Structure 1
Amino acid sequence: MTAPPGLQPTPGGAAGPADGPRPGPGGAQPSPATARTKPTGVTEASATSTATATRTVQVADEPTWRRLPREAGRRVLAVNRLLGVSPAGWTLLVVAALAFWAGGRLGWAELRIASVACLVVLLLAVLFTLGRQSYAVSLELQSRRVVVGERAFGELRVENTSDRRLWPARIELPVGRRLASFGLPSLGGRASHDEVFAVPTVRRSVIRVGPARTVRGDPFRLMGREILWTDAIDLYVHPRTVPLPGRQGGFIRDLEGQPTGEVTNSDINFHALREYVPGDDRRYVHWRSTARTGTLMVRQFEETRRSHVAVALDVAGEDYLSDDEFELAVSVAGSISLQSLRDENTLSLLTSTQRLKAISPRRTLDELCGVSMVNRGTLPGLVRTCVRTVPGASVAVVVTGSQPAPADLRRACTLFDLDVRVLAVRIQLGAETSTQTLSNVTVLTLGSLDALPPAVRRASL
C-alpha cells in the first residue's frame, strides 16, 4: 500500500509523519523563522505523548560583590539586636576607626591613643550589657478607670529572683506617648524594689501603660539590651458626667412605655370601650358598662412600647469652636446615656463615624473615652444615619457644637418622624441656658455641664 504524500511508512507498516515541519492549518507549511530551535543551556524532553516540553533553565549565582554587603548588613543587625548598640555607640565606633586610620596615615600617636581609648570604653559597655537578668516584674494600677482630673496611681515592683547580686539597670515604662524611666539600684539576692508613679489624667482618653522593660547597659548609654517583662494595661479616663432627673423627674415621662396610637386588645393604657366579639378575653369585660347598656362591652387599649433612646454625638471638627467645647459635648452625651441605662431603657449611642457599644454604664464610658473629632461628616448626615440605624427610637438626642445655627439644627432634626421626641443640644461655652420647642423638636442651648439637669427637667422629655 502506498502512503499518502507527506507521510512515510513506519517499520510497523503504519504511516507516520515525514521528516521536517508539520503542515499548519489549511496545509500551509510553517516558515523557517517560526521553527522551534533549541537554545543553548536548555534541555528539552518529551513529557507525554502529546509532545508537551519540559524546560530546565540554569540560573547563575548572584555576584559576590552584590551578596557580601547584604550579608554584612544582616550580621550587623544581629549584633545590634544582641548588644543594643545606640546611635552614640555607633558614632564612637566610627570615630575610633577614623582616628586609628588618621593616626597611622599622619603619624600622630595621639590619634592612635584616642582610638584605643574609645575602643576600651566600648569594650566596657559590652561588659555591662552581657549577662542574664533574673527579674520578676509586676505592674499594677490602683484603678483602671478614673474620671478626668482624678489622679491615677500605679506601682511597679521589681524582684531579684536569683541568689546573686545584680548590677544596676534601668527600667522604662511607656505611659501613653510618654516614656517614664526609673533607675534600678544593685539588688542583692531575693531583694526587691518598688516604684510608685502617678499618671496625669487631664484629658479624656485611653492611656496605654506598659509594657515594662528593663534596659541593661552602660552608664554612658552606648549600649542597652531591652527585655519586656509585663503586658500593657489600658487606663480609661472617663468624661465627667452629672446625674439627671429620671422617671420620677420627667426625663422619660412614661413608666411602662410610650403610647403609639395603635389600638390593641390587651395593654395598660386604656383607650375606649367596644362591643364584645367572640374570642375576646373575658378579663377585659367592663361589667358596669355592660349592666348599663345591656350589651357585653370590653375595654380597648393603646399599644405602648418600651422607650428606646438614641443618642447621636456630632464629632465633625467644623461644628465645634474649641476642644473644650467638644469635651463638654461628650460629657453631655455620656450623662444622658447613663441616665437612660439607669432607667432600664434601650439605648443606642452613635457618632458621625461609628456606632458605640452602649450595653452597660461602664462599657458606655469606656467607648466614649476613644471618641475624637474628625474632619468629615455633617450634622444632617448624622441625623440621617441615626434615622436609618435606629428606626425604632422613641426619644432622640442630638448633641453638637456652637457652629451650627439653631435654625439649621432644628431643620436637620425634622428628618425624624413626628412620633419621635427629639432633643437637640447645642453646646456653647459660657452661654445662658435656653430652650425652644417647635412641634416634636426641642432645641437646648447649654453653656456648662452643671446646667444640664435643670435644662433637661425644663425640657420635660
Structure 2
Amino acid sequence: MITRAGWGLVAASALLYALGAPFGYAQSAVLAVAGVAAVGVSALWTLRGARLDVRREVTPVKVARGEPAVALLHVRNTGRWALSGLVARDTCRGTTVAVELPPLARRTSRTVSYRLPTRRRGETPVGPLLLDRGDPFGLARRSIAYGRPTLLLVRPRTVPLPSPHAGRRRHLDGLASRSAPNGAAGFNGLRDYVIGDDLRHIHWRSTARTGVLMVKELTDVNLPDTVAVLDNRHSSYEGDDEFELAVDVAASVACSVARERFPVRLFTGSGELLHAKGGPGEAEDVLDRLAVVEREPGAEPPLHALRRAGSGGVLVLVSGTFATLADAAAVRRRFDQVLFVRVGDPEPGAAPPSAPGVTVVQVSDLDDLATTWPR
C-alpha cells in the first residue's frame, strides 16, 4: 500500500514533469521518473514476504477500572533475511496503540510491551493485531493481521467497607444457614458425633438415653441479608463518569458482603443481576457481572426492582438523583436498615434531603465512600 508520502512524491513528480517538459528541461523529466521509480521500488520492497512468528499476551485479562493492563508482544524472525521497519498496531476500545519494533536479525526474537486503555468498564476486545512493514523512506507499507482479538474485562473499582449487618432473630430455631460456625448460632437438632466435633456440644442426656454420642447441631438464625439496587436509568445521571462511580459504589457494597460469606442480591432496572448465597469466590462473580452493566433508557425505576427483592436485612440503593430517595422511603418498613447512596457533586449551598428511616450518604468520589459509610 502506498503511503501518503508516497502519493505525495508521485504527485510532485507528475507536477515537475508537467512544468518542465514543455520548456525542454530534461532534468525535470529525469527527476520525475526517479521519483516514480522510488515509489515503485518501495512498493516492491514491502511486497517481499516476511516470515514471522507472532504471539501476543494480555495480562491480566481481568483488571479494575483505571488499573494497568499490559500487552506483551513476542515476535520471532523465522526467515533468512534481517527485517526492519516493523510497526505493531493494536486496537483497544477505539484507541490505536502503535509500537515500533527493533530490527530483527535472522532467527532472532524480540519482546515489546505496551499499556492498554482501561478507563471504561466492559468487555474490551484487544485487536486484531496488525504488523506494518514499511520501506526505509516511508513511501509504502504492507499490513498483515496476526491472531484473533483477545478479550480484556475491565471491572469496577472497589474500596473495602464494613458489611451493613442488620439481621434480626425472627424465630427461635429456624434454619438460615448450614455454614455458620459452631457456637455462633442457635440449636437446630441432634446428630451423631463425628471425629473432630467440639466435645462441649455433646448432648449428654440424649447420649445417656441412646448409648450413642449425640452432638447438638447449631445453625445461624441471625444471618444478615443485603439487597443492593443500582439505578441504571439513563436519565438518573448527568454523564458516564457519574454512572461509573455508581457502579463502583454498588460493587464495593456487594463485594464487602460477599467476601464475608453473607448472602447478597444485586438488582438493576433490568432485573436481578446476581444472587450470591455466601459461597467462596462469589465476590469475583459480582465484579464480573457489574463489569458489563450499562445505562439503559428503558430501564425500570428502582421501585419495580424493590418489589421483587423480598424483605428483611439491609437495603442499599445507589442512584445519581435524589428523586430516587422516595423509592427507598416507600419500602423502609420492609427492611431492618435502608441506606440511600447518591453519587455526584453536591449542590452548592443546599443540604441533602432526608427521609424517615433512611440513611442518606452522598459521595462525589469513591474514596469518599469509605469515610462516609455508616459504621
Task: Please name the residue that 1:289 is paired with.
Answer: none
Tell me, yes or no, if the aligned pair for 2:263 and 2:275 is still in contact at 8 Å.
no
Check 1:85–1:237 CA distance in 2 against 1; reply closer, same or farther (3 A cut): same
Q: Is the 8 A contact 1:128 1:218 kept in 2?
A: yes
- Cα separation, 2, equivalents of 1:100 and 1:244: 75
1:365 paired residue among 280, 283, 287: 287
1:362 aligned counterpart, secondary structure:
helix
Cα gap change, 1:393 to 1:339, in 2 (>3 Å):
farther
The normalised TM-score by structure 2 is: 0.68
Match of 1:334 in 2: 251
- Following the alignment from structure 2 to structure 1, what is the Cα–Cα distance between the partners of residues 22 and 316? 81
1:448 and 1:166 map into 2 onto residues whose CA distance is: 49
Q: Which residue of 2 aligns with 1:194?
A: 111
CA distance change for structure 1 residues 306 and 253 in 2, over 3 Å: closer, same or farther?
closer
Q: Is the 8 A contact 1:145 1:236 kept in 2?
A: yes
Partner of 1:438 in structure 2?
356
Q: CA deviation at 1:129?
A: 0.9
Matches within 5 A, 1:384-399: 384-387=303-306, 390-392=308-310, 394=312, 395-399=314-318
Q: How far, CA to CA, are the matches of 1:173 and 1:148 in structure 2?
A: 20
Residues 85, 136 of structure 2: 8 Å contact kept: no
* Cα distance per residue 1:408-437 (max 9 Å; x no partner): 433223554842454321235479998956
Percent same amino acid at aligned positions? 29
Helix, strand or coil for the counterpart of 1:236? strand
| C-alpha distance 87-370 of structure 1, shift in aligned 2 (>3 A) | farther
**Quick one: which of 149, 158, 174 aligns to 1:267?**
174
Point out the structure with max Rg over C-alpha. 1
Relative to 1, partners in 2 of residues 1:253 and 1:310: Cα closer, same or farther, differing over 3 Å? closer
- Residues 308 and 392, structure 1, Cα contact 8 Å, conserved in 2: no
Q: After TM superposition, give the deviation of residue 365 of structure 1 in Å.
A: 1.9
Distance in 2 (CA, whole Å) between partners of 1:233 and 1:324 is 26
Aligned-partner Cα distance in 1 for 2:273–2:35: 58
Letter in 1 for 2:287: L
**Secondary structure class of the residue paired with 1:128:** helix
What is the CA-CA distance between 1:383 and the residue it aligns to?
Answer: 1.4
Q: In the alignment, which residue of structure 2 is the partner of 1:231?
A: 148
Distance 1:430 1:86, change over 3 A: same
Query: Counterpart amino acid of 2:342?
Result: R
Q: Please state whether the residue corresponding to 2:288 is helix, strand or coil.
A: helix
Tell me if the contact between 1:433 and 1:445 (Cα under 8 Å) persists in the aligned partners.
Answer: no
Q: Is the 8 A contact 1:399 1:426 kept in 2?
A: yes
**Residue 115 of structure 1 aligns to a residue in which SS?**
helix
TM-score normalised according to structure 1 size: 0.57
- Taking the TM superposition and a 5 Å limit, the aligned residue runs for 1:411-422 are 411-414=326-329, 416=331, 418-420=333-335, 422=338
Is the 2:3–2:138 Cα contact (8 Å) retained in structure 1? Answer: yes
For residues 200 and 435 of structure 1, the distance between their equivalents in structure 2, rounded to whole angstroms, comes to 38
Deviation at 1:189, TM superposition (A): 2.3
User: 1: CA distance between counterparts of 2:27 and 2:269?
Assistant: 69
Report SS of the residue matched to 1:438.
coil
Structure 1, residues 220-262: CA drift from partner, whole Å, max 9, x if none?
433222112233333334333122223xxx52425xxx74x9x
Partner residue, 1:410:
325
| Alpha-carbon shift at residue 121 of structure 1 (Å) | 1.4
Q: Verify the 8 A CA contact 1:137 1:158 in the aligned structure 2.
A: yes
Residue in 2 that maps onto 1:424: 340
Q: Aligned partner of 1:423: which letter? A: L
Distance 2:78 2:52 in 1: 6
- Residue 132 of structure 1: how far off its partner (Å): 1.6
Is this contact kept in 1: 2:318–2:343, CA < 8 A?
A: yes
| Alpha-carbon distance in 2 for matches of 1:420, 1:245 | 18
Which stretch has the larger CA shift, 428-437 or 219-228?
Answer: 428-437
Which deviations, in whole Å up to 9, do the C-alpha atoms of 1:381-413 show, x marking residues without a partner?
42144146x343644422112x42xxx433223
1:382 match: 301
Unmatched segments (≥5 aa) in structure 1: 1-83, 270-281, 284-303
Question: Is this contact kept in 2: 1:205–1:238, CA < 8 A?
Answer: yes
Residues 1:241 and 2:158 aligned together: yes
Counterparts of 1:290-309 in structure 2 under 5 Å?
Answer: 309=226
Question: Is the partner of 1:240 in helix, strand or coil?
Answer: coil
CA contact (8 A) 1:307 1:346 kept: yes
Q: Higher relative contact order by CA 8 Å / sep ≥ 6: 1 or 2?
A: 2
Asked if structure 1 preserves the Cα contact closer than 8 Å seen for 2:92 and 2:117, the reply is no
8 A Cα contact 1:213 1:230, kept in partner:
no
Question: Shift of residue 86 of structure 1?
Answer: 3.3
How do 1:59-458 and structure 2 match up within 5 A? 84-97=1-14, 100=17, 107-199=24-116, 201=118, 204=121, 207-246=124-163, 250-253=164-167, 259=170, 267-268=174-175, 309-316=226-233, 318-320=235-237, 324-352=241-269, 356=273, 360-373=282-295, 376=297, 381-387=300-306, 390-392=308-310, 394=312, 395-401=314-320, 403-404=321-322, 408-414=323-329, 416=331, 418-420=333-335, 422-429=338-345, 438-439=356-357, 441-446=358-363, 448-450=365-367, 452=369, 456-458=373-375
Specify the SS of the correspondent of 1:267. coil
* Unmatched 5+ stretches in structure 2: 177-188, 191-220, 277-281
1:125 touches 1:223 (CA, 8 Å); kept in 2?
yes
TM-superposition CA deviations, 1:108-163 (whole Å, max 9, x none): 54443333122111112112211222111122234223334533333222111234
Hey, what's the Cα distance between the residues in 1 that align with 2:353 and 2:166? 17
Name the aligned partner's letter for residue 339 of structure 1.
S
Contact 2:311 2:334 in 1 (8 A): no
- Paired positions, count: 324
